Amino acid sequence: MPTRQLGNSGLEVSTVGLGCMGISFSYATQLPKDEGVALIRAAFERGVTFFDTAEVYGPFENEEVVGEALRPVRDQVVIATKFGFDIDPATRENRGVSSRPERIRQAVEGSLRRLGVETIDLLYQHRVDPEVPIEDVAGTVRDLIAEGKARHFGMSEPGVNTLRRAHAVQPVAAVQNEYSLWWRAPETNGILAACDELGIGFVPYSPLGKGFLTGAMAKGSLPANDFRAGIPRFQPEAMEKNQAFVDLLARVAAEKGATPAQIALAWLLAQRPYIAPIPGTTKLHRLEENIAAASVELNADDLRTIEEGASHIQPEGDRYSPAQMAMVGREAPPARADA
């Protein structure tokens, strides 16, 4: 597997990483711990060195699975995790966003313990807290880095101004936002431009549209306990209209001897040299398919075909519920006067 550097950070990762969330969180089909461990180890054996988890995935269980899986190869991988929610340690209830400095420290201590590591390679703020100045957040992470508990700072779904303010306090190594052929907001909301300017890496999550762009999802096929069932974009009528994206990818895939998923990932990789997507899966054959996308080369004609085709398709439905949408692209409050 080739590698990429996340911006100017010096952090080198496999070109395609593994988003581990779905192994134990959110989707209808989740893996028993031993099978999750086996899948993560299979990813490493096939060249993946970049693994993404979070405290809130479970909560807690996903970090435990990732930690157990990667313990034998700890010095050969990059582990990313996230803070940013107020989780009751007794009940595991998620009580909403919180990036108070004391909560960040509590979250990091828990993550270190569950992952079984001394240092978190890439520590993300999961969502911007509208009650805490980003300077306080970045300053806390800066202190954790100085203490050896983290190596790099990341942010997920920040507003552009918040990203810039954070970067001025502690350099941001990577931004993790949703980005795919059917969700291209980072191209227009200033985030990718800021990454270009500031030398920040970009890690697309849901690069396959939460599975839709693989072409394997039938309209109305989601069970009620799958979180996608409540997302506007996955309602039957929306899926029928959004099928046009899959059809476009399938046409290019047929010409390249690839799959729609591989074309979707190869398209992302062609957008910037510092982009490293983290598709997730619970199936070994899908894992191998995603990894193989790193070897799919799209030439200028291929990219023009995709761009031209996509320009005629309007995505149907929001990517999240209204409450979840309120948490993305959010700006932090002004810095305290005594900061």
Q: ∠ CA 191-281-268 to the nearest 5 degrees?
A: 35
Q: Rounded CA gap, 207 and 229, in Å?
A: 18
95-121 residue pLDDT tens:
999 999 999 999 999 999 999 999 999
In this structure, is residue 18 part of a structural domain? yes
Whether 271 is covered by a domain: the verdict is yes
- Is residue 299 over pLDDT 90? yes
Would you state the pLDDT for residue 218?
A: 81
In the structure encoding, which two tokens stand for residue 257, read together? 């001897």
- 310 within a domain of the structure (yes/no): no
Q: What is the pLDDT of residues 17-29, one digit of tens each?
A: 999 999 999 888 8
* pLDDT value at residue 179: 98
286 in any annotated domain? yes
Helix or strand (DSSP H, E) at 195: helix 191-198
User: So what's the pLDDT on residue 105?
Assistant: 98
pLDDT over 80 (residue 248): yes
Residue 330 forms part of a structural domain: no
Region of residue 84 (phi > 0: left; psi between -120 and 50: alpha; otherwise: beta): left
67: in domain = yes
Number of domains within the chain: 1
| pLDDT tens per residue, range 168-224 | 999 999 999 999 999 999 999 999 999 999 999 999 999 999 999 999 998 778 998
User: Are 212 and 239 spatial neighbours (Cβ–Cβ below 8 Å)?
Assistant: yes
Residue 147 burial (CB count, 10 A):
11
Catalytic residue positions, numbered: 57
Q: pTM, whole model, 2 decimals?
A: 0.98
Amino acid at 198: L
More confident residue, 127 or 26: 127
What domain range is 78 assigned to? Answer: 3-208+267-297
> Is 331 a domain residue?
no
Res 322 pLDDT > 80: yes
- 10: exposed, middle or buried (C-beta count within 10 Å: 0-12, 13-18, 19+)? exposed
> What is residue 339's predicted lDDT score, i.e. its pLDDT?
60
Question: What is the SS3 assignment for 10-49?
Answer: CCEEECCCEECHHHHCCCCCCCCHHHHHHHHHHHHHCCCC
114 falls within a domain: yes
Q: What is the CATH number of the domain that holds 93?
A: 3.20.20.100
